[in-house]
Copies of this chain bind each other. A is one copy, B any other.
Amino acid sequence: MSSTLGEKIKLSIFGESHGAAIGCVIDGLPAGVVLDFDKIQKEMDKRAPGRDKTSTARKEPDKPQILSGVLNGKTTGAPLAMIIENTNTRSGDYDSVRFVPRPGHSDYPAYVKYGGANDIRGGGHFSGRLTAPLVFAGAIAKQILAEKGVTVGAHILQIGAVRDTAFDKNNIDAEKLNELSSDFFATISNEKEIEMRTAIESARLQGDSVGGVIECAAVGLPVGIGSNMFSTVEGRLSYALFGIPAVKGVQFGAGFDFAQMRGSEANDPYEIKNGAVHLKSNNNGGVLGGITDGAPLVFSVVVKPTASIASAQDSINLKTMENEKLVVNGRHDPCIVPRAVAVVEAVCAFTLLDMMM
């Protein structure tokens, strides 16, 4: 497995869902940064399960303990290590899946890859729980980015067939992003939140799950971050975003809508506005030739429906090599999109900071 991310700031994530602890090491943070641990906890809480009916009923008090790298509330420049002890694990729930891979999960390829030695309890190192250290790292990155005038925020753009108002790509302000970022179920339209909750509840009642799309933006980025070819903003971000379990697509600006556009409408014209360069539209999502162009960075990611569902599914037994019906017990999110918002923001913040160091 490869659980290390970043070039100038190196994030190493460890832990298994039902092991002693999960956590991370962040190597390369600047020294002397004052950290606001309440803000970090708030980000952790956004991702944590058990808040309401849209997520699993498990209670995981995601309280990070700092082991190193912080002295008197300030970074020391040495690697910052953090652990979250695992509690409230009901290992028995997963025994049935040892040789019967759950459809949509990594069980089967992981079984082949690790020869059956990987910890499958609760998904092991593949568990969505491993996004908690990612959110922690992102929360720290957000604070350092804020000092540089950069703000990151995201909202649920779509759940099933319900679609929120999209960002006005060329007109996003930091306050709005901060407001969204402090919301547990972040949408631009309040009505759409209600419809989305209904869609999730409907899936839950049917023992099923539903997918969605998260739209994320960053404002305040200087022109010139990233480069063409193999250090594009798009490439660096998507590399990390696909590390979030269930993400299956990433698009920037107009994204897949570009296919149906003409160059004359897709190109973002320039104008001088208040003495500065301004883009009159932002179809490119703030990135041209892989480099930030001063317009807001805007991208969206699709999150597939939670693979764990209550209904019986066709599977196989890897020991007997015979077909076998699988019923997955345990408590699961009917929709992980709301919780994933914090993770998408975190990955975006961490990657942007790494590119700006």
Contact = CB atoms under 8 A, between A and B. Distances in A.
A225 to B, nearest CB: 9
Contacts of A256: 213, 249, 251, 256, 302
Contact of A309 (B12, B227, B267): B267
A21 to B, nearest CB: 4
A306 B77 CA distance: 24
- Classify the secondary structure of A's interface with B: mixed
A81 B309 CA distance: 31
Contact of A108 (B4, B76, B223, B228): B223
Interface stretch (A177-185, A187-195, A202-210): A202-210
Nearest to A116: B32
Contacts of A136: none
**A231, A275, A303, A318, most chain B CB atoms within 10 A:** A231
Interface in A247-296: 247-256, 258-264, 266-272, 275, 277, 280, 283-285, 288-294
Contact of A14 (B25, B231, B249): B25
Interface in A12-66: 12-16, 19-23, 25, 27-28, 31-32, 65-66
Nearest to A249: B251
A85 to B, nearest CB: 9
Contact of A124 (B78, B81, B213, B288): B78
Contact of A31 (B115, B275, B291): B115
A290 B27 CA distance: 16
Contacts of A252: 248-249
A230 B2 contact: yes
Contacts of A251: 248-251, 256, 302
A291 B118 CA distance: 14
B1 A229 contact: yes
Contacts of A306: 263
A22 B110 CA distance: 31
Contacts of A109: 223-224, 288-289, 291-294
A252 to B, nearest CB: 5
B113 A291 contact: yes
Interface in A288-332: 288-294, 302-309, 311, 313-316, 318, 321-323
The 8 tightest CB contacts between A and B, nearest first, are A106-B289, A249-B251, A78-B125, A2-B231, A209-B263, A269-B314, A104-B267, A235-B242
23 contacts: A1-B78, A1-B79, A5-B230, A14-B78, A15-B68, A76-B114, A79-B125, A104-B284, A104-B288, A106-B290, A109-B289, A109-B291, A109-B294, A110-B289, A113-B291, A213-B259, A232-B243, A235-B238, A235-B243, A238-B250, A249-B256, A277-B316, A277-B321
